[in-house]
C-alpha cells in the first residue's frame, strides 16, 4: 500500500533557489522507497493544472498578493487542499509535513481535522526565525507565538540541527514534544566544469578574480549572517587575496555596510552578484582559497554544507550550529575585534598539506552524515513508520 506524504511550506519544485525548495527537490529526486507517494505544494500567481516532477504529484496553490501575511495564508490554503485530497481519495494513514512554523493560529484546527481523517501532522521548525533582524518586533512576536502553537500540536517535529532539537525540547518541555533529528543534505560530487572552462574564465575576468586567490562567502544578504564583521575583519587583515561575496544585495543594507566599514575604499572587497548556474557556483567554491561562514541564526545551513563539500579551507563563526556540522574539518572565529583578521593571516600561511587534511575531514563529514542519499533514507524511515 502506498504511503502518501504531503509537503507544504516550500514555494515548490523544481527548485531554482531556496533551502526548503532544494530540500523538497532532492528528497523527491533521491527517493528510494517507491511505496512513498509525495504530494508537493507549489506557489503560483495564477492557478494551473497539477503536474508530476521527480515522481511527485505537484499541486498549485495561489500565492496571494496580500502583504506579509501571504506566506501564512499560502500554508493554510495548502493544508486545506491536503485535507480535501485525503478525504476525496479516502487515503488512510497519510502524513502532512509542514515546513516552518508560520501558520500557528490555524494549526490546531487543521491538526484536529487531519486526525479525524487518520492523518498525522509533522513539522520542521526551521531555525530561530523570530531572531532575524529583518523582522519588526510585532512580526518577531508572531513568529515566536506561532512556533509555540505548532510545537504544542505537532505529532512529530523533525529538526535539521541537534541544537534546534535541544532548543525545542528545553523551551517547550511542558508539551513533551516528540522530536527527531534529520539534517539537511548536500551534493558530494565535483563540478563538471574544468579549470579552463570558458564560462569560468570569463566570470573570473569579469569579476577580477583568480583561482586560489580569493576568499568566498555565499548566502542571504542579511545582518545576522555577519557580513559587517567579515568585511571589517577582512579589511583589518594584511592578506593580499580578494574577498568575493556572492549574494543578492539590497541597497539599504549595502549602504549601511558602506557607511559603517567604507569597504568601497578597499579594492580587495568584491560584491560579485548572484550565480544561479549550479555547476559554475560549485566550481567557484572549489577554486576558492577559503570560505567564510558567518551564519548564527538557524539550523543546518545549506550554504555551509555545500562549502564543506567543495572548499578545502573553511573559516566558520564559532556557534553550536556550525561546530555540530563541521567538527574538526574547519577553523573557527569569533566576533571579538581582531579575531577573524588574525585567523585570515594565519590561514594565508597554512601549509598545503594542512589545508588538504582539513578539506578531507570536511568532505568525509558530508559524505557520511549529510549526503542526500543518507538524508533521504533517514526521512523515509520516519515518514513510512
231 within 8 A of 254, measured Cβ to Cβ: no
**Res 128 pLDDT > 60:** no
Residues 164 and 23 in one domain: yes
Which pLDDT score is estimated for 224? 85
Residues 153 and 223 in one domain: no
User: Which set of grid coordinates corresponds to residue 15?
Assistant: 527548485
Residues 216 and 313 in one domain: yes
Distance CA 259, CA 275 (A): 26
On whether residue 56 sits in a domain, the answer given is yes
- Residue scoring higher pLDDT (302 or 307): 307
Which pLDDT score is estimated for 136? 65
Minimum mean pLDDT among 106-115, 124-133, 275-284, 350-359: which range?
124-133
Which whole-number Å values give the CA distances from 15 to 24, 276, 283, in the listed order?
8, 11, 20
Which whole-number Å values give the CA distances from 130 to 74, 127, 142, in the listed order?
19, 9, 8
Residues 20 and 47 in one domain: yes
On whether residue 9 sits in a domain, the answer given is yes
The residue written with cell numbers 525548495 in the block is 21
Which pLDDT score is estimated for 1? 82
Q: Given pLDDT bands bounded at 50, 70 and 90, which one contains residue 133?
A: low
Q: Which of 67, 73, 69, 88 is nearest to 41 (CA)?
A: 73
Which pLDDT score is estimated for 284? 98
195 within 8 A of 211, measured Cβ to Cβ: yes
Distance CA 28, CA 10 (A): 13
Minimum mean pLDDT among 10-19, 166-175, 236-245, 360-369: which range?
10-19
Q: Name the packing angle between helices 278-287 and 302-310 (round to 10°).
A: 60
Residues 262 and 176 in one domain: no
* Residues facing 38 on adjacent strands: 5
Which pLDDT score is estimated for 71? 87
Residues 235 and 286 in one domain: yes
User: Tens of pLDDT along 44-71?
Assistant: 998 889 999 999 999 999 999 887 788 8
Which pLDDT score is estimated for 242? 98
Residues 145 and 238 in one domain: no
User: Tens of pLDDT along 227-251?
Assistant: 999 999 999 999 999 999 999 999 9
**Res 299 pLDDT > 90:** no
pTM (predicted TM-score) = 0.85
Residue 242 neighbours by CB under 8 Å, 6+ apart: 208, 209, 213, 214, 215, 268, 269, 270
User: Tens of pLDDT along 91-121?
Assistant: 999 999 999 999 999 999 999 999 999 999 9
**Res 218 pLDDT > 90:** yes
Q: Given pLDDT bands bounded at 50, 70 and 90, which one contains residue 142?
A: confident
Mean pLDDT computed over every residue of the chain: 93
**Res 137 pLDDT > 90:** no
State the residue range of the domain holding 288: 198-369
Residues 131 and 236 in one domain: no
Pick from 130, 150, 181: which residue ends a domain?
Answer: 181
On whether residue 174 sits in a domain, the answer given is yes
Distance CA 340, CA 229 (A): 8
Residues 121 and 204 in one domain: no
Residue 348, classified by CB atoms within 10 Å of its CB into exposed (0-12), middle (13-18) or buried (19+), is middle
Q: Quote the number of domains for the chain.
A: 2
Return the CATH number at 100: 3.40.50.2000
Residues 175 and 222 in one domain: no
Amino acid at each position: 500500500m502506498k504511503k502518501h506524504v504531503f509537503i507544504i511550506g516550500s514555494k515548490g519544485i523544481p527548485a531554482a533557489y531556496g533551502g526548503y525548495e532544494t530540500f523538497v527537490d532532492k528528497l523527491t529526486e533521491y527517493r528510494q522507497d517507491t511505496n512513498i507517494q509525495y504530494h508537493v505544494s507549489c506557489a503560483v500567481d495564477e492557478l494551473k493544472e497539477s503536474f508530476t516532477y521527480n515522481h511527485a504529484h505537484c499541486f498549485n496553490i495561489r500565492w496571494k498578493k496580500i502583504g506579509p501575511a501571504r506566506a501564512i495564508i499560502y500554508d493554510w490554503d495548502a493544508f486545506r487542499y491536503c485535507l480535501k485530497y485525503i478525504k476525496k481519495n479516502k487515503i488512510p494513514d497519510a502524513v502532512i509535513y509542514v515546513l516552518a512554523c508560520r501558520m500557528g493560529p490555524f494549526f490546531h484546527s487543521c491538526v484536529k481535522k487531519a486526525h479525524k481523517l487518520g492523518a498525522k501532522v509533522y513539522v520542521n521548525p526551521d531555525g530561530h526565525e523570530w531572531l532575524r533582524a529583518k523582522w519588526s518586533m510585532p512580526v518577531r512576536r508572531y513568529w515566536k507565538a506561532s512556533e509555540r502553537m505548532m510545537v504544542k500540536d505537532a505529532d512529530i517535529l523533525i529538526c535539521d540541527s541537534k541544537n534546534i532539537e535541544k532548543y525545542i525540547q528545553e523551551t517547550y518541555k511542558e508539551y513533551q514534544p516528540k522530536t527527531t533529528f534529520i539534517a539537511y543534505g548536500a551534493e558530494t560530487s565535483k563540478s563538471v566544469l574544468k579549470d579552463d572552462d570558458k564560462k569560468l574564465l570569463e566570470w573570473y575576468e569579469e569579476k577580477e578574480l583568480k583561482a586560489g586567490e580569493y576568499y568566498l562567502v555565499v548566502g542571504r544578504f542579511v545582518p545576522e549572517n555577519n557580513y559587517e564583521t567579515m568585511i571589517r575583519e577582512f579589511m583589518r587583515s594584511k592578506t593580499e587575496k580578494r574577498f568575493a561575496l556572492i549574494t543578492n544585495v539590497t541597497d539599504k543594507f549595502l549602504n549601511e555596510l558602506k557607511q559603517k566599514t567604507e569597504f568601497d575604499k578597499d579594492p580587495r572587497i568584491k560584491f560579485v552578484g548572484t550565480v544561479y548556474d549550479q555547476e559554475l557556483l560549485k566550481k567557484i567554491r572549489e577554486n576558492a582559497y577559503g570560505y567564510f561562514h558567518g551564519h548564527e541564526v538557524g539550523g543546518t545551513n545549506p550554504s555551509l554544507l555545500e562549502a564543506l563539500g567543495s572548499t578545502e579551507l573553511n573559516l566558520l563563526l564559532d556557534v553550536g550550529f556550525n561546530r555540530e556540522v563541521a567538527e574538526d574539518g574547519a577553523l573557527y572565529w569569533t566576533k571579538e575585534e581582531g579575531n577573524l583578521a588574525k585567523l585570515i593571516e594565519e590561514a594565508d600561511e597554512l601549509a598545503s598539506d594542512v589545508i588538504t587534511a582539513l578539506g578531507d575531514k570536511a568532505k568525509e563529514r558530508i559524505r557520511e552524515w549529510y549526503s542526500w542519499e543518507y538524508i533521504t533514507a533517514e526521512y523515509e524511515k520516519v515518514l513510512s513508520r
